[in-house]
Amino acid sequence: MFSVATILILAALIVCSLSASGLILLKLRAVEAPAVEAPSVAEVKTFLEKSETSYDGNEAGPDASFSDEGLSPLESLVRTHGLSRLVAPLIDRISEDLTGDEFNAMLAGLDDLLPRIPAGSRDKAAVYFCQQFCDRCEAYDNDLASDSLSNAGTYALSITFLTATLYFFFALMAFIAFPLLIKIERNTKLLAEAA
């Protein structure tokens, strides 16, 4: 009726399916990308040296008629380092996709960078720094999204193999249980006829 070979084949399929599922789960990558590194002072200075224009947006200097009270951190930074008033809206527009923590990290890096840059080049350096920082944050987010997407596909494939394993297991149980039930029924009939 049901052969031992059928049972062995189903058992082998279960082992193969479980092994494949385990190997697939080992391929899951950690969802982490290297941390975003702000552009270094050397990078900004190299950009400024290669830049052809030497616009100085600080011709009027910082506006001393306003106090720092009620200013956003970006506006306060612009005033502290004597940047042009046009820089704050530009940086706001460049960095609108950043999270709060990323924006604060960008401002901290900018605050650290600007004192090391000559006053005549600070506007250009600030915009360049912010653009580079935002580009790196976007690349970081893309890396995380790529890892997450890859892991989702790998996880789905693993679930498929685990489901196949369950089907093979239930088939194996059926191939083992049916012959036993048939044998029990035959023995019960023989005992009933003998009594």
- Judged against a pLDDT cut of 60, whether residue 61 lies above it is answered with no
Q: pLDDT-derived band of residue 167, with 50, 70 and 90 as boundaries?
A: confident
pLDDT of res. 84: 80
Weakest mean pLDDT among 57-66, 131-140, 150-159, 184-193: 57-66
Task: State the pLDDT confidence band at 34, using cuts at 50, 70 and 90.
Answer: low
Kindly state the average pLDDT of the residues 113-138.
84
Which residue would you say has higher pLDDT here, 46 or 136? Answer: 136
- From 37-41, 60-64, 100-104, the region with the lowest mean pLDDT: 60-64
| Averaged confidence pLDDT in the chain | 75
Per-residue pLDDT at 64: 41
DSSP output for the chain: ---HHHHHHHHHHHHHHHHHHHHHHHTPPPS--PPP-PPPHHHHHHHHHH-S----TTSS---TTS-STT--HHHHHHHHTT--TTHHHHHHHHTTTS-HHHHHHHHHHHHHHGGGS-GGGHHHHHHHHHHHHHHHHHHHHHHHHHHHHHHHHHHHHHHHHHHHHHHHHHHHHHHHHHHHHHHHHHHHHHHHHH-
List the chain domain ranges.
4-194
According to the model, what pLDDT value does residue 131 have?
87
Residue 62 reports pLDDT greater than 70: no
